[in-house]
Structure 1
Amino acid sequence: MMHDRSPPSLWWKLSWQLSLVIVAVVAAVIIGLCVYGTMIQSPNIAVEDKISAVLAEAAERDAQGKFLLRDTSELRSLKTQNKGLWFVAATTDGASVSYGTVPAAYAELAHLVHLFHDADIRGAAGTDEIASVERVDTNVGEVRILFGGFADKGWPILALLVGTYPIYVPLLIVALPAIFLAVPRIVRRALARVSEVADKASQIEPRRRGARLPVEGIPKEVAPLVIAFNGALDRLESEIKKRQRFLIDAAHELRTPIAIMQTRIDGMPEGQERRRLLNDVARLAETAEQLLDFERNDQATDLHEPVDLVEIARTVVADLAPQAIAAGYQICFESEVDGLERRGSPFALPRAIGNLVRNAIDHGGNGGMITISVSAGGQVNVVDEGPGIPAEHQELVFEPFYRVTPKSRGAGLGLSLVKQIVANHGGQVSIKSGSTGTQVAIQL
């Protein structure tokens, strides 16, 4: 089973990647400082703690108070592992104990060890041996240790990392939360303008011409995409205008041959063929007019003029009442208010309501009552008592060129035009239909 994967979040991706980069840089600085430390510190740094701990454990005084080192198992192990090991351990009063062969270069320092606090001794003439002096607290007091000759000096960088943790651990404790909190906020602010542009892009409507995405404040890496998108909108609008111009011109051009055909048919002898031809020509003329209305409304700009919905509906009913009565209907108009002002097109809104009434006349079953009403909330209802529209057709009737039955004289553009006009005015159109009739409502 395939699952759709949501696109990755640029904010999240940049946030964690930048945070990791900063953390890596901090870690590299810490490690780099430790590497530098190993270059300037004694190579014995990794074993200083080891020998200090072993000798501190072994240091003691005998019954006469003489300083000595017990032969502990740790001391024996240390000597066994490092055959060249040597050291001089001295108390602060000058008492000392030595082990191994002290290099000649350092022999003269043996009786001075108690004077050193700590030292790194190297580069002496005649030896490559590196010596160190460490201070350690023992049971017999403070002891100074001069040592060298370790076979394995361990990992000095690890020793530095362990030894300096009181410095960098508190720094990391403070810095890491700040990094992981600050970086996402910084990235979010940097992408805020991109999010605003995305919101504007989602609000662009096909019929809202001239809408473009702003380029101001957009990161230069994203700006080419926005410019390209605006260019695509320009090309689309240009092609839409060409199509609309073509349809309007074609509908206009159809008027002349339709009028000629109607004139010629009017001159034919009365009969079934003449009536059939007249109906066909009337249907063709109605289609041409609906196409013109459809495209003209798409270009409408007068959508914010003050109009009276009650007056518009009343005028439409008065104009179409003779046609409804001639088709076998009763027609009535009702309004909850004397007048209801709205902002809209004084030409498009009468066309929308008129199309609803004509649709009721065409599909109402040629009998019963057609009721047009206006509510105080701005809803215009057109209700007939016809056979109704099947449920599977009720949403499709608003699609262009869709007809439930071939009875209509038009091309199936009437209700589609209604939906378009209402959408241009920011309203909604709905339909309810059953076996007792159909109600179409416009809410502005």
Structure 2
Amino acid sequence: MKPIWRLSLEAERLGRGELVSPLAVEGPRDTQEIIKSFNRMNERITRTVDYQIGLLRSLAHDLKGPLAGIQRLVGSVGPDNARNQIEAHLTRVQNNINSIMSFSRAVMRDGDFEPIDLALLLDVVIEERCELGDLAQMADAEPVIVTCRVNAIQRCLFNLLENACKYGGAAHATVSKDGGEAVITVDDNGPGIPEDELEHVFQPFARLATDVPGSGLGLAIVKTIVADQGGSIRLLNRPKGGLRAELRLPLYRED
């Protein structure tokens, strides 16, 4: 049963988004075939994710050069109203490119999984948002340990808190445990989101509030990172008003 036990362990690691080396093909014939199938699946998934990330990075990089050239020529364009409109459009394109680059960096598997106290990590992000002038707070919490790529999850928390403050006026966060999962909730005081749009807002470049600056990639980054690390994210309208973002990650466990 040792090959089966090792296969189960590595499948769990793959599901959390960790890089998994090919398993040694051993054991009875049926077990060997299962291990071969797992190795092929692991290779395809890794290759696909690496390709998609590389494509995003290349796209953003290739667009920056021509855009910089256009921006240098704007000064020679007149009259002023036309130049101002061009500059506004270029700024929007530049912001989108920066967001794409941030997205590609955020989802890169360039960090090792390590245990971290989510309560402590959230407290750090809360302080950062407050230093930026946002109204953000968290309830007292006991240590909640998960294994994750710390920088990526910190980016998720930053995005969720930023959205709550930007669209809902303030953010109130909690950290708790639910069975084998860590649960972070971020509540705001905003108008919420129509029920039929709760999933749509996770799509890249999806935006509901066009009068607020943004690229529409914040929640897409969160969704991608959380799924890559074996977790889940959902949005719920609170009964008494406002929106709740609920992020779940597997609790740390000794392998």
Secondary structure of 2:170's aligned partner: strand
Aligned with residue 140 of structure 2, among 337, 342, 366: 337
- Cα distance between partner residues in 1 of 2:112 and 2:184: 20
Secondary structure of 1:291's aligned partner: helix
- 1:210 corresponds in structure 2 to 20
Amino acid paired to 1:284: V
Gaps of 5+ in 1: 1-191, 322-330
- Cα distance between partner residues in 2 of 1:341 and 1:197: 27
- Cα distance between partner residues in 1 of 2:55 and 2:17: 17
- 1:295 corresponds in structure 2 to 104
1:86-125 mapped onto 2 (5 Å cutoff):
none
Secondary structure of 1:440's aligned partner: strand
1:227-376 mapped onto 2 (5 Å cutoff):
227=36, 230-231=39-40, 233-265=42-74, 273-296=82-105, 297-304=107-114, 306=116, 308-321=120-133, 331-337=134-140, 342=145, 344-360=148-164, 363-364=167-168, 369-375=169-175
Deviations 1:222-280 (A, max 9, x none): 63564355245435533442332232122233333334444544776796545544443
- 2:244 corresponds in structure 1 to 439
Secondary structure of 1:283's aligned partner: helix
Secondary structure of 2:135's aligned partner: strand
Secondary structure of 2:207's aligned partner: coil
Aligned with residue 416 of structure 1, among 215, 220, 223: 220
Amino acid paired to 1:317: R
Amino acid paired to 1:442: L
Amino acid paired to 1:431: L
- Cα distance between partner residues in 2 of 1:266 and 1:355: 35
- Cα distance between partner residues in 1 of 2:90 and 2:68: 9
Q: Structure 2 vs 1, CA of residues 332 and 252 (structure 1 numbering), >3 Å: closer, same or farther?
A: same
Q: What RMSD over aligned residues (CA atoms) do the two structures have, in Å?
A: 4.1
Amino acid paired to 1:373: A
Q: Percent identity?
A: 23
Q: Is the 8 A contact 1:309 1:339 kept in 2?
A: no
Q: Is the 8 A contact 1:336 1:376 kept in 2?
A: no
Structure 1 residue 424, shift from structure 2 partner: 4.7
Q: Is the 8 A contact 2:123 2:138 kept in 1?
A: no
Q: Structure 2 vs 1, CA of residues 273 and 333 (structure 1 numbering), >3 Å: closer, same or farther?
A: same
In the superposition, the TM-score normalised over structure 1's length comes to: 0.43
Higher relative contact order (CA 8 A, sep 6+): 2
Q: Structure 2 vs 1, CA of residues 416 and 299 (structure 1 numbering), >3 Å: closer, same or farther?
A: same
Structure 1 residue 217, shift from structure 2 partner: 0.8
Secondary structure of 1:248's aligned partner: helix
Gaps of 5+ in 2: 250-255
- Cα distance between partner residues in 2 of 1:399 and 1:431: 13
- Cα distance between partner residues in 1 of 2:220 and 2:248: 16
* 1:383 paired to 2:187: yes
- Cα distance between partner residues in 2 of 1:439 and 1:249: 35
Deviations 1:76-131 (A, max 9, x none): xxxxxxxxxxxxxxxxxxxxxxxxxxxxxxxxxxxxxxxxxxxxxxxxxxxxxxxx
Q: Structure 2 vs 1, CA of residues 376 and 292 (structure 1 numbering), >3 Å: closer, same or farther?
A: same
Structure 1 residue 213, shift from structure 2 partner: 5.0
Amino acid paired to 1:370: A
Q: Is the 8 A contact 1:388 1:437 kept in 2?
A: yes
Amino acid paired to 1:301: G
- Cα distance between partner residues in 1 of 2:9 and 2:24: 9
Secondary structure of 1:285's aligned partner: helix
Q: Is the 8 A contact 1:402 1:413 kept in 2?
A: yes
- Cα distance between partner residues in 1 of 2:122 and 2:200: 29
Secondary structure of 1:217's aligned partner: coil
Structure 1 residue 215, shift from structure 2 partner: 2.0
In the superposition, the TM-score normalised over structure 2's length comes to: 0.68
- Cα distance between partner residues in 2 of 1:270 and 1:311: 50
- Cα distance between partner residues in 1 of 2:44 and 2:16: 13
